[in-house]
Amino acid sequence: MLFRNIIITAFFTALIAGVLLGTMQAFSTSKIIYAAEKYEIEEAADDHHAHDTATAHHHESEEWSPKDGVERVGFTFFADILIAFGHSLLLTSFMALIFLKFGKPEITWRSGLIIGIGGYLSFYLATIIGLPPEVPGTVAADLHARQIWWTMTIVMTIIGLSVLYLAPNASKLLGLVLIVIPHIIGAPHPETHGFLNQDPSAVSALSQLEHQFLIATAGVNLVYWLVIGLFSGLFANKFLKANRNGFALS
Amino acid sequence: MNTSTQLVNETSLSISATLQIIATSLIALVVLYGVGFNEMDIAHNAAHDSRHSATFPCH
């Protein structure tokens, strides 16, 4: 059954890509996040004006949060595996759908790798053009507005890339238009870019961390998407049993 | 006769395959929404570092 085979493909891919993502994060992006969070805490100790903000933040996360250390890293791994499952499920479904409707590309690790690059372009590159990766403590625009722009950008980039790949030459321009539209609309931005902690030394440190975070996320997400694509293609080739007429029933 | 039966079978098979792909895509969206966008404190705090690294809009 196709449904089950796509789920199995995503499940195995998620175990590999999710664990790899969690490991890469532990050595790069998570360290930067922890470093940035230190400025949230010092804020409370050093500055009375900032105390309210710090208390409010504490109150916000009063419900429950994983303890720093093994527990926090463990939950990050768990979340990573879930994200990888979602991404692989989407990528494998996409690959199966265009194979079914257009008869191309063949379902192999090579196709998976190329669609993985498409995933990196859609989920990472297209979105960070408007919404650069943020360390904790960055001043940002309204969350819902950003979520809407972020989702719209991904959807339109995926459709745009698909049009570039699948549509006849005369219509390929439409694909480029779709990819560019979200950036013409523009992402929601706060009135001024900056950090909640306005102490000059904190701003300087956080600016550096922000720069490091951009480079770290670019690398981590690239490797992650290549692995998602590669293994989704590899397992889909094994489990989906594609043939000229579509997919085998069993 | 034989050919037409085969055609009908293939058509119904391909519709069902499409529906199955739509179903797996929907599950993917629900999972990604849950990990990336769910605003409950528990979900936010557990997935916090993953959200930042995967550049989901956060906070």
Report pLDDT for A243.
Answer: 80
Give how far B33 is from chain A: nearest CA, Å.
9
Find chain B residues with C-beta within 8 A of A30's C-beta. 49, 53
Q: What is the DSSP letter of A248?
A: -
d(CA A45, CA A51): 8
Question: Is the minimum CB–CB distance between A134 and chain B shorter than 8 Å?
Answer: yes
What was the pLDDT predicted at A44?
Answer: 45
Test B41 with A65 for CB contact under 8 angstroms: yes
Interface A-B: count of C-beta contacts within 8 A: 144
Examine the pLDDT at A56 and tell me if it is beyond 80: no
**Mean predicted confidence (pLDDT) in A25-30:** 97
The answer as to whether B41 is a domain residue is: yes
Examine residue B59 and state whether it is found in any structural domain, yes or no: no
Option in A29, A147, A246 nearest B17 (CB): A246
pTM for this model (two decimals):
0.88
CA distance A60 to B32: 23
Helices (H), chain A: 2-27, 29-46, 48-60, 70-102, 109-119, 126-130, 143-166, 172-185, 200-239
Model pLDDT for residues A147-177, shown as the tens digit of each residue:
999 999 999 999 999 999 999 998 999 999 9
Query: Cβ–Cβ of B20/A134 closer than 8 Å?
Result: no
* Full DSSP string of A38-64: HHHHHHHHH-HHHHHHHHHHHHHT-S-
Touching check for B46 and chain A: CB below 8 Å?
yes
B58 within some domain: no
Q: Does residue B15 belong to the interface with chain A, where contact is any CB pair within 8 Å?
A: no
Backbone angles phi, psi at A245, to 5 degrees: -90, 0
pLDDT at A250 over 50: no
Domain limits for position B33: 3-53
User: Number of structural domains, chain B?
Assistant: 1
| Cα atoms in the Cβ-side hemisphere of radius 13 Å centred on A248 | 10
> Does residue A100 belong to the interface with chain B, where contact is any CB pair within 8 Å?
yes
8-state DSSP, A138: B
The ipTM (two decimal places) reads 0.88
- Report the distance separating Cα A152 and Cα A70, nearest Å: 35
CA distance linking residue A69 with residue A46, whole number of Å? 25
Residues forming beta bridges with residue A242, ordered by sequence position: A247
Q: Residue A195 pLDDT > 50, yes or no?
A: yes
Residue B9 within a domain: yes
Q: Which residue has the tokens 């102490």?
A: A199
What is the Cα–Cα distance from A41 to A46, expressed in whole angstroms?
9
Distances, alpha carbon A23 to alpha carbons A131, A175, A221, B13, B21, in Å: 25, 36, 12, 42, 31
